[in-house]
Amino acid sequence: MASLDTSLLTSLVMTLVVILALSLLLRRFKQPAFVVFLLAGIVIGPFGLSFVGETGFVELVGTFGLLFMLFFVGMELDLSVLKKHAKVGVIGVFVQIVLSLILSYIIGSFLDWPVGRVLLIAFVLTLSSTAVVLRLLQGKLDTRLGRNVLMILLMQDIAVIPMLLTLTLIEGPIDYLPFIGIAIFIIVSFFAFRFSLPKRLVKAIKDDEEYHVFAALFLCSIFALLASQFHLSAVLGAFLAGMLAKKWDLCWATETLEPFRDLFLAIFFLSIGMILDLSFVLANWYLITGLAILAIAINLVINYIMLRIMNKNHSDALHGAAILSQLSEFGYVLASTALAIGVIAPFGYQMTIAIITLTLIIAPFVVTLTRKASSLF
């Protein structure tokens, strides 16, 4: 057997040491685990102490954590409940986009921004972090607020595709292929939900526990792959796979994938921390901090207005706005696209990455503060 690479083992040991040390430190402040993983990623990454120099594989594995999370959420939801609350998500995201575009246009008019940058800022403000919001909603998904916030979150994930297409079309000719792909995926999903697995096959898989992991991984991965190939978000495909698993009575998949979900999700947050350039952050900390706080404040106001428009009471609207106030990991994708097509410069890209990451780190504090503030009024 080949000898184990000691540098790889050293990186793993140092990563675990940093995670354990930060978890003990932050336990006093009652912070969720994802904050520990984000900070640990910053410390061990190539811009920190460089315990991990190559982040590509880490990012790839971390993406599976996000897919599994949406797969689990899909299994927890009832299709009839989803249909009932879909209107909330559509109206909510539409209001978010409109308000964000108006605000971005006003700011861009004063700063002489090109149209592409106005759109980018509006889109980044509209999106909330799928991973963070689902963590903050743990134990609340079956509440009215939880279902409404989840529907808004899912519609945001769907909106990422037209956002990316819009940014791309600014600098190039119209490509109709993505629209064809989306139409095909919708048709495939429609027939999948009308199809039922043979009972004998379901029983055969259920009885053979050794294949549970592979069957669940296949279902989650195949729909994520199909969604990606048809120019949709992979997490949306994983979510639909979870709903299919529930419809096909494959509930054992939850037990099977839970350990993998927790591990890969931790790696996902580590990978986010690793891409943050610490030297850039230290050189521009005052600007990054100010803009991150401004972004959260703007999101709080926009989301509060959006939830109040949908006839939510003050307390629920404020709590929901706080949960949705951070920026999204999909903002990294939008920023990368904008950089590639020349909408923003490298400085703007690094600034966007830093601001998004900071909003993810302080998201739990925002929720705690708004909860305490709402009790005073």
List phi, psi (to 5°) of 327: -85, 170
Give me the pLDDT at residue 207, please: 65
Give the number of other CB atoms < 10 A from CB of residue 342: 11
Angstrom distance (rounded) from CA 234 to CA 228:
5
Give me the pLDDT at residue 205, please: 65
Give me the pLDDT at residue 198, please: 57
Structure tokens at 199: 């009972």
Contact present, 153 and 160 (Cβ < 8 Å):
no
Q: How far is CA 254 from CA 70, 73, 212, 276, in A?
A: 12, 10, 10, 33
**Residue 3: inside a domain, yes or no?**
no
**Residue 131: inside a domain, yes or no?**
yes
Domain containing 249 equals 8-376
**Residue 49: inside a domain, yes or no?**
yes
Give me the pLDDT at residue 50, please: 78
Give me the pLDDT at residue 79, please: 64
Contact present, 241 and 223 (Cβ < 8 Å):
yes
Angle between helices 252-274 and 212-229 in degrees, nearest 10: 50
Give me the pLDDT at residue 287, please: 92
**Residue 82: inside a domain, yes or no?**
yes
CB under 8 Å to 190, separation ≥6 — which residues?
Answer: none
- Report angle CA 166, 343, 292 to the nearest 5 degrees: 95
* Helices within 251-345 (DSSP H only): 252-274, 278-283, 285-309, 314-323, 330-340
Q: What is the DSSP string of 9-59?
A: HHHHHHHHHHHHHHHHHHGGGT--HHHHHHHHHHHHSTTTT-S----HHHH
Q: Provide the terminal-to-terminal Cα distance of the chain, rounded to the nearest Å.
A: 66
Amino acid of residue 285: W
Residue 268, burial from CB neighbour count under 10 angstroms (0-12, 13-18, 19+):
buried
**Residue 211: inside a domain, yes or no?**
yes
Give me the pLDDT at residue 219, please: 80
Query: Could you give the number of structural domains in the chain?
Result: 1
**Residue 365: inside a domain, yes or no?**
yes
- Least Cα distance to 358 among 275, 287, 292, 305 occurs for 292
Instruction: Considering only CA atoms, give the Rg of the chain.
Output: 21
pLDDT one digit per residue (tens) for the chain, 377 residues? 455 567 778 878 888 888 888 888 887 777 778 788 888 888 888 887 877 766 666 667 667 777 777 777 777 666 666 667 777 888 888 888 999 999 999 988 888 888 888 899 999 999 998 878 877 887 777 777 788 888 888 888 778 778 877 877 776 555 556 666 666 766 766 666 666 655 666 666 666 666 767 777 788 888 888 877 776 667 778 878 887 777 776 666 666 767 776 777 788 788 888 878 888 989 999 999 999 999 999 999 988 888 888 766 778 888 888 999 999 888 887 888 788 778 888 898 889 989 998 998 888 888 888 877 766 65
CATH number at residue 165: 1.20.1530.20
In the block, residue with structure tokens 């708004």: 370
* Helices within 175-233 (DSSP H only): 177-194, 199-207, 212-229
- Least Cα distance to 202 among 167, 253, 237 occurs for 253
Give me the pLDDT at residue 129, please: 86
Structure tokens at 22: 């930060």
Give me the pLDDT at residue 43, please: 87
Contact present, 34 and 131 (Cβ < 8 Å):
yes
